[in-house]
């Protein structure tokens, strides 16, 4: 399979999850495990290097939350926010940082976990300041 076919296949699967969420909402709305499995799949694809796959996954994720989030139980919301959403953005930040470093060929930035965590801390402080 060529790269383009593989990418189109993955893109199609991600788009299909929007229709799956509609079915879940009608028949299994309060089933935490099913929602978490769906969001976990989207989360995995949100970490891809390919921007189209990443963007599609995040758009579907946001669309599902927008359409059905008001019907989730507090337990589902807690799991989605803590186990999926927040961890996803930590990973996306890491992917973005690595892509940026590759793109501009930064070799002077430390590659240590401590440095990456310091960047994350700076990002968190900026986020809190905006709130």
**Neighbour count for residue 7 (Cβ, 10 Å):** 15
pLDDT of residue 116: 65
77 contact partners, CB below 8 Å, separation of at least 6 = 69
* pTM summary value: 0.61
Structural domain containing residue 48: 3-130
pLDDT for residue 40 is more than 50: yes
Q: What is the pLDDT of residues 60-86, one digit of tens each?
A: 888 888 888 888 888 888 888 877 777
Domain total in the chain: 1
Kindly state the DSSP code that residue 5 receives in the 8-state scheme.
H
């Amino acid at each position: 399979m060529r790269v383009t076919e593989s990418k189109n296949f993955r893109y199609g699967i991600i788009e299909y999850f929007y229709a799956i969420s509609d079915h879940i909402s009608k028949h299994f709305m309060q089933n935490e495990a099913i929602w978490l499995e769906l969001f976990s799949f989207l989360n995995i694809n949100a970490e891809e290097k390919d921007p189209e796959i990443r963007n599609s996954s995040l758009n579907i994720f946001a669309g599902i939350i927008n359409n059905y989030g008001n019907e989730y139980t507090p337990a589902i919301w807690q799991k989605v926010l803590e186990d999926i959403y927040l961890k996803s953005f930590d990973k996306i930040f890491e992917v973005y940082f690595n892509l940026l470093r590759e793109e501009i060929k930064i070799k002077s930035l430390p590659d240590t976990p401590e440095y990456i965590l310091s960047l994350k801390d700076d990002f968190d402080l900026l986020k809190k300041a905006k709130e």
